[in-house]
Chain A
């Protein structure tokens, strides 16, 4: 089993739709979790950290399910500009912060 797994997609949704991605991780001792957005031929940009209690930033909601070892990202009211690849990153424990990235989930929002 890979350390961090994501459905590569693409997820093809109309504008205004709600879409959710999951990311599973294998290391139960993982401590930090993040979602990044990567546009084509660009570097990943931090979208949001994922906190244990779940957190929201505008149209984006991130949640952590430790029991099932996955994190999720929910995007409400999708915009055309949300089209990108969404990478999850899971940080290792023990103080030696070396995050592992998933392969990314591609989102295409169409008119």
Chain B
């Protein structure tokens, strides 16, 4: 299947700092990538849809000025958590949309575990 990488895998930072997470599709081009957040024992929560060359579409309740998304190329999307606070500590997972045959399928990156002290 398609491979999606995510970097870094784990971040520990101080409150008030900004953290940048990269998501790359390694063997395919992804016009659309998704960013999710998952708290312990909770479901995946879609934060935003990232479209190459255009602004991201944010889900209701997600602050676009706090979670900056840039989809600069067909293989790279970045999520920047600005002025992170302890409540932003979570598991952030990106995924990329790939078309296999006639079906659109999502493939996930390995996730980034963010801990804000």
Which residue of the partner chain, among B42, B46, B93, B97, contacts A103 with CB atoms under 8 Å? B42
Which B-chain residue is minimally distant from A97 (CB atoms)?
B104
Which B-chain residue is minimally distant from A2 (CB atoms)?
B43
**Which one of B14-22, B62-70, B105-113 is at the interface?**
B105-113
B25 CB–A CB distance under 8 Å = no
B 88-117 binary contact with A (CB < 8 Å = 1; else 0): 000101000100000111111111010000
Which A-chain residue is minimally distant from B99 (CB atoms)?
A97
Q: Is the CB of B43 within 8 A of A91?
A: no
**Which one of A37-45, A64-72, A76-84 is at the interface?**
A37-45
Of A32, A91, A97, A100, chain B has the most CB atoms within 10 Å of the CB of A97
Which residue of the partner chain, among B44, B97, B113, contacts A97 with CB atoms under 8 Å? B97
Residues of A within 8 A of B61 (CB): none
A 90-111 binary contact with B (CB < 8 Å = 1; else 0): 0100000111111110000000
Residues of B within 8 A of A97 (CB): 32, 97, 104
Number of A-B contacts (CB under 8 A): 42
Q: Measured between alpha carbons, how far is A100 from B110 in the docked complex, in Å?
A: 19
Q: Measured between alpha carbons, how far is A89 from B43 in the docked complex, in Å?
A: 11
Q: Is the CB of B111 within 8 A of A43?
A: yes
Residues of A within 8 A of B49 (CB): 98
Min CB gap B116→A, angstroms: 18
A49 CB–B CB distance under 8 Å = yes
Q: Measured between alpha carbons, how far is A87 from B49 in the docked complex, in Å?
A: 20
Residues of B within 8 A of A102 (CB): 43
Q: Measured between alpha carbons, how far is A97 from B96 in the docked complex, in Å?
A: 11
Query: Provided the pairs A32-B104, A34-B105, A49-B105 are in contact, do residues A43 and B110 lie with their beta carbons within 8 angstroms?
Result: yes
* Residues on B facing A (Cβ under 8 Å): 1, 32, 34, 42-44, 46, 49, 91, 93, 97, 103-111, 113
Assuming A32-B103, A100-B46, what are 12 further A-B pairs, CB within 8 angstroms? A32-B104, A34-B106, A43-B93, A43-B109, A43-B110, A44-B108, A49-B103, A49-B105, A97-B32, A97-B97, A98-B49, A104-B43
**Interchain residue pairs A-B with the least CB separation, the first 7:** A103-B43, A43-B108, A97-B104, A101-B44, A43-B111, A43-B110, A44-B108
